[in-house]
Each structure stands twice: as C-alpha cells, then as structure tokens.
Amino acid sequence: DEQVPKELQRHFIRGYFDGNGCISLVKRDNCYALAFSICSTYDFCAKIQEILKKELDLKSNLTISKNKITTSLMMSSTGKATKCLEWLYRDATIYMERKYRKFQESKAIIKANADKYSPKYEAFGEKKSITEWSKDRRCKVLSTTCIKKRLESGMSLEEALTIETKAQHRRV
C-alpha cells in the first residue's frame, strides 16, 4: 500500500528534494558533471531509488553515513541527474526557485562547456559531438561509449550510429 498516491509521487519527491536535496556541479579537468542527491533514512532513500528506477529506468547509489542513521541517494552522471530533475520539474508550479534556477544554470554551463571542448564529428552532412549524435533520431545505438568504441574499431560514423547492437537485435 502506497503512502503517497502514484500520481503525486513525483511532486512529493520534488518537495522533499527542495528541503533535503542537493544539486551539484562538479568540474573535472575541462568537463562539468551534474549531480543529484537526497539525504534521509535508508528506507526512505531506498523507496525513492525504487520509484526512480521504475518511472525513469535510472540507477542510483545509496551511501550510508558513518553514524549508520542517514543515507544519501546519489546520481553523479549528468545524463541521469538531468533526466531525474527534468521529470521532477516537468509541469511543476510549486518548487524552490533557488534550486530550479541552479538546475537551469548548471545545464547552461554544461552545454556551453560541451560546445567548447567536445570534438565534432561529421555524418549525414552535419557536425555534432558524440553526445549530440547519441540523441539524434537516426542513432540506433544505446550509449555514447558504444559509438566511441565503434569509431575506434574503424567504423565510419554513419555505420557506428545506424547499425543496431546484437543485444538490441535480440530484444526485438
């Protein structure tokens, strides 16, 4: 039995995040990463983790503090954190303005940094970064890592983007 009805869970999580959550922008070398975290009890964080997995297919980490009382749910991947936060804020009218603004500013910094430092690859008469290509409607590959490995193996970019993986083919 759910304490919070399914249709309100996203809003409940957003409200909890406003009070006990954190958005971080971490810089490593020339790259920025967005991180999302919530601090609470283990049971509460595990339930949020379960909801995020079920609703968004997102994996997250739970870290139990030294005091064995508090737990942090964390996503330190820009893609995961962005997907989660966009879901939380989608069509929302009530939220902490400061956190929402930090999310928007962080996305802008990450995009500007990616535009500046990410190499561009040409295919189909266009130039884009690997991340941009992975989001293109013509891309049949699930991960940027797979695209990079295919390019390293000597495939053309158009082949690397459009040939489905064996795992994808088996799932059909």
Distance CA 22, CA 37 (A): 5
Using pLDDT thresholds of 50, 70 and 90, give the confidence band for residue 169.
Answer: very low
Taking only the tens place, the pLDDT of each residue in 114-162 is: 777 778 889 999 988 888 888 888 988 878 888 889 999 999 999 999 9
SS3 of residue 27 by DSSP: strand
Distance CA 130, CA 159 (A): 13
pTM: predicted TM-score of the whole model, two decimal places: 0.68
Average pLDDT over residues 109-117: 79
What pLDDT score does 3 carry?
Answer: 87
What pLDDT score does 167 carry?
Answer: 57
